[in-house]
Every structure is written in structure tokens, then in C-alpha cells.
Amino acid sequence: MDKTIRWGILGCGNIANKFATDLQMVSGSVLRAVASRDPERAQKFAIKHTAERTYSNYTALVNDPDLDVIYVATTHNFHYEHAALCLAANKAVLCEKPICVNAQEAQKLVELSRKKDIFLMEAMWTLFLPTVTRLIKDIDSGIIGTPQLVQADFGITKPPEAGSRFYEKKLAAGALLDLGIYTINFSNIVFRSKPKGISGYAQFTDQGVDRLSTYNLIYSEGRQALLSAAIALPTPHQARIYGDKGRIVVDDFYHPQQYQIILNGKKPKLVNDGFDGFGYLYEAREVQQCLLDGKTESTICPLDETVATMRIMDDLRKQWGLRYPNEN
């Protein structure tokens, strides 16, 4: 089908800016409209990214009849409400990660999208990057044998400012939902399965969100992942995958340009597939292709996997007693 995919962006913050920049590199897609609670922010954003329409409320955006898909880029706590708003208006949705705050919300969204036959996908951009596609192929080919252990860390330093989406409990803040999600996703794609055992520990901020958290996931035959995330502790953002025949080291594993394959007793081999822009155009291309193909779900980022990852995070938070406002 020869059709231009018309995008709307809901929420004009930090990641929306990067996504809109990359969307300009996706031929066959156009940013048509943006919405912000602040009309001036919407105007500035629209000028910067050449969107022809602006809205000062999200409902007006989702009711724009000339949009095919809406990218939801608000804070975690609003993802359910805003994605549901889009689906109710029959608009396809690409929703920032985590798709929701918990699996119950995520499952409700999935059911809504399936019932209405409308596309929905979590913006787990890592899965679509060229280097990750290659990495998955290499692992599946058995290049390092059966993966036995995955280690991955994602620690950053964000100042504990009032209103920060990293610290504010009402915005569903904390390391796990924001950063730990990448480590868990990575582990699940390496092992091509879901963990049978889940345990973890958390150190909390004064507001009661996880500042530093670690996760030990146990897969079939005792294969394991040791993962960590932090919002006030910088760590290298590296993943290491150990197999019977060697290991793979992935720097910046959530958006890698390259990785090293180090077979036992051999010299390291560098694989570099890079990526263009900030790396968000690949997920946008996937959405575009799915819509052109009439698909309501991506096979690379399936909804059941998205919900399964939310369940793992629910389990960890339950162990720590971490609940967000309005959670049952």
C-alpha cells in the first residue's frame, strides 16, 4: 500500500523531542500534529519539528481525524490513561516504556487494542536497532554456545529535584520501571524465554521509590541473569553474555553501536552495525510497516512479551513493598 503514515505526538517533553527529530528520517512518515498541556510548548515543538497542527489538550489530538498513529510520550503514570484515550478514538498507539505502571493496566490496554483491532506497541526501541538484530541472530546461531549467564547494569545519576519523574512517586518513579526494564528485556531476549524464578533487592529514596535495585532472574536449567539499575549511581551500561564457548560484551546495551565476541582462547571480534540519529527511527519504521501491512501488533515486540515483562516488575515491586499511588 502506498500511503504516508501521519503521526501525532502526545506530550512534548524530552524524549518526544528526540523521537520527533528521528521521525524526520523515516521516509513514508510525517509528523502532522502535537499536543502539550502548555500551548506555547506545543507551538515551539511544532515549529522545530515542522508539525502543521498543535493542540493544547490531549483529547483534541486523539480526535484529529487526519492522524494514523499517536506516540504517547508522557510520564509512566499517565501511559495507561493516554494510550486508552488514543485507542478509544481508534488511533494506533506507540507508547513509551514502560507501557503502563503494572501488568494489570498493561493487560487491559492489550485487551482493548485486540478487541478494537487497533495497533499497540511499547516503544522498546532497543529491539529494533540494527546491532541488536544482529546480536540476537549471533546468539541464536549458538556462536557462544548456550547462554548461561547475563549480567547487565543501567545506572545513571539524576538530581533528586522536586517534580523529577525519576524521584516523584506519583509519577511512578524509580530505577526499575525506568531503567531496570531495559535489563530485564535484554535478558529475556537473550534467553528467548521468561524467568521461572525472580528475586531482587532495593534501596529506597525518602519518597519510597527504588534508587538502586538489583534483580536475579532464573531461567530453565539454572541459567541466570544478574541485573541492576540506579537513578543516583552511574554504572557502565554494559551487558555481558556468557556461554559455554565464550562471551559477548555489549557496551551501551540498551542502544549499542557494537559488541565484542570473545570465544574461549581466541582474540575478540568486533561487530559494529551502528545506528542512525538517536536510534528511534527503527521503532518508528516498524510501526509504519505494521500499519501498512494491516498488523495490529509487532512480531518483534509482541504485546504478550510486554505484559510478561510488566509481571516480572510487579513481582519485584511486591517483594520490596513498592506500590504507586492508585495501585490496588
Q: Does 178 bind ligand NAP (CB under 6 A)?
A: yes
74 vs 187, beta carbon nearer ligand NAP: 74
Residue 204 sits at φ, ψ, to 5 deg, of -105, 155
Task: Find the distance separating the first CA and the last CA of the chain, reported in whole Å.
Answer: 44
| Interacting residue with ligand NAP among 46, 109, 120, 123 (CB under 6 A) | 123
69 vs 144, beta carbon nearer ligand NAP: 69
Q: Does 211 bind ligand NAP (CB under 6 A)?
A: no
Contacts of 200 (CB under 8 A, 6+ apart): 213, 214, 215, 216, 316, 319, 320
**Closest approach of Cβ 12 to ligand NAP, in Å?**
4
Whole-angstrom CA distances from 31 to 35, 135, 218, 262 are 12, 31, 42, 43
DSSP of 117-174: T--EEE--GGGGSHHHHHHHHHHHTTBTBSEEEEEEEEE-B----TT-TTT-GGGT-S
Please tell me what DSSP assigns to residue 295.
Answer: -
Cell of 119: 495497533
Calculate the CA 270 to chain-centre distance: 26
Within positions 58 to 87, which residues make up the interface with ligand NAP, using CB under 6 A? 73-76, 78
**Closest approach of Cβ 220 to ligand NAP, in Å?**
30
Q: Does 169 bind ligand NAP (CB under 6 A)?
A: no
| Interacting residue with ligand NAP among 44, 165, 295, 323 (CB under 6 A) | 165
| Interacting residue with ligand NAP among 6, 13, 158, 258 (CB under 6 A) | 13
Residue nearest to ligand NAP (CB): 13
24 vs 164, beta carbon nearer ligand NAP: 164
Binding residues for ligand NAP, per CB under 6 A? 11-16, 36-38, 41, 73-76, 78, 96-97, 123, 125, 165, 178
